[in-house]
Amino acid sequence: MIEVKLEPSLSSCIETVAKREYERVLGMLLKGGREDRQLEEELELLRLFLESADFGQLRSLSEGLLLDGRRVEFTLRSTDSLPGYEVGIKGKGGRPSIIQ
């Protein structure tokens, strides 16, 4: 199972953070010049997330926590069921919960 952690901020929403991570992983794969199964799986997980996530819902979940000065961490995990991943959210001091 592949897991990717993403931390949005007041200046960068979850969608922006996910796009940046996708570009970072893609760059690593292209520069590496060799196959890296772990990075390929991370890239695929991020692609699925960017293509199918409800970013409006995810932003609304994180904005309140961020405005309260709390750190927010989304965790993407690959799964065998559709859409191919699950999303968890954890606010600083809070319990993690699965939301998608």
Range of the domain at 10: 3-98
At 42-78, the pLDDT tens digits run 999 999 999 999 999 999 999 989 999 999 999 999 9
Instruction: Count up the domains in the chain and report the number.
Output: 1
Give, in order, the Cα–Cα distances in Å from 3 to each of 44, 45, 56. Answer: 11, 8, 22
Closest CA to 75 of 66, 65, 95: 95
Entry pTM: 0.87
Quote the CA–CA distance of 59 and 18 in Å, as a whole number: 12
Q: Using CA atoms, how far apart are residues 70 and 94, in angstroms rounded to an integer?
A: 9
**CB of 100 closer than 8 Å to CB of 86:** yes
- Is pLDDT above 80 for 97? no
